[in-house]
Structure 1
Amino acid sequence: MRKAGFPPVVSPDTRLLLLGSLPGEASLAAGRYYAHPRNQFWQLVGAVIGRDLVALDYELRLQALLNAGIGLWDTVQSAHREGSLDSAIREESHNSLHDLCAQLPALRAIGFNGAKSARIGSKLLAGSPYMLVSLPSSSPAYAAMNLAGKQARWMELGQFLK
């Protein structure tokens, strides 16, 4: 079955764009980024901006990110995929990352949430003026690093928000 992602969540003040690969089943069903209750995204990015995003309603989470200068999107526009694993993504089409970035005058860096996003996004944005940052995946399927290890790496994003 072909699955498609969501529109970007950005503002003209976006300084840091966080890119996943393609929303998982729980996110697609809810129509929300990072909806799986075990996904650590909201904890990790909340630590970066110093806010407890998990405690907020979804719309308030998005507003808190925008207020902090953070935008969200994905590298994959649509793909065939059974389940939620990035390794199952097939026949993908990619989002127009260059077009979006050109609309963000304050953009300084792009963070890739996981290896699949980084592989795709690094190729699509090769030669761009932005700092490209590969991050450990917030997905519960990525268990090679504990939350503290992931958080240490994600905290490096704070430098792009100052």
Structure 2
Amino acid sequence: METQHIIHNFEPIYNEHSKILMLGTMPSPKSREVGFYYGHPRNRFWKVVSDVCGEAYPETREDKITFALRNGIAVWDVLAGCDIKGADDSSIRNPQPNDMSRILECADIKAIFTTGTKAFQLYKKFCYPKTGIMAIGLPSTSPANCRTSYEQLYEAYFEIRKYLE
């Protein structure tokens, strides 16, 4: 697979009531194709987060936005752009971080979570020095992360509940 320069083109999901910020690395090819966060049909993000919040799985893009905002969850990605091969986070070169102040100046964010090791590493290197808020790293919900069972994801993601109540 060839390296491509990708520019992030989704708006973040947030409002003034957002309490936590969930950050991925960069939209995958499938997410870019469908035009929304965690768009691969086998990605477990929306399932695990809705289960942790005790709500039905949000099916549509609009349902996912409504669900996130109703529960105080902001969703974005660490990177605004990068060079990447497909969805392989380990291939990322020339990362350009998003400006987290866009959300942090509007919402009273209590905690920042990253969905995967690479998102955590990139946040720590590029965003933490500006935000002063250390992220809490969670396992990736990507179908590529088959080492982590759904039960393990649920247990890890249950941490977000502390900040939503």
TM-score by length of 1: 0.92
Partner of 2:13: 9
- Say if 2:67 is the partner of 1:64: yes
Partner of 2:22: 18
Flag as ranges the 4+ runs of structure 1 deviating above 3 A. Answer: 126-131
Which residue, out of 37, 40, 44, partners 1:40?
Answer: 44
Alpha-carbon deviation of 1:128?
4.4
Partner of 2:54: 50
Secondary structure of 2:144 counterpart: coil
- Name the aligned partner's letter for residue 138 of structure 1: T
Q: Contact (CA 8 Å) 2:100, 2:131: kept in 1 or not?
A: no
Aligned residues: 160
TM-score by length of 2: 0.90
Partner of 2:142: 139
Secondary structure of 2:85 counterpart: coil
Percent identity, aligned pairs only, is 28
Partner of 1:151: 154
- Name the aligned partner's letter for residue 38 of structure 1: R
Q: Which runs of 5+ in 1 are unaligned?
A: none
- Say if 2:103 is the partner of 1:93: no
Alpha-carbon deviation of 1:122?
2.2
Q: Which runs of 5+ in 2 are unaligned?
A: none
Q: Deviations over 1:116-156 (max 9, x none)?
A: 11111123224846462110000111122111111100011
Alpha-carbon deviation of 1:97?
1.5
Alpha-carbon deviation of 1:99?
3.9
Q: Find the aligned partners of 2:149 and 2:51 in 1 and give their Cα distance.
A: 15
Q: Find the aligned partners of 2:116 and 2:46 in 1 and give their Cα distance.
A: 15
Q: Contact (CA 8 Å) 1:115, 1:137: kept in 2 or not?
A: yes
Which residue, out of 157, 160, 164, partners 1:161?
Answer: 164
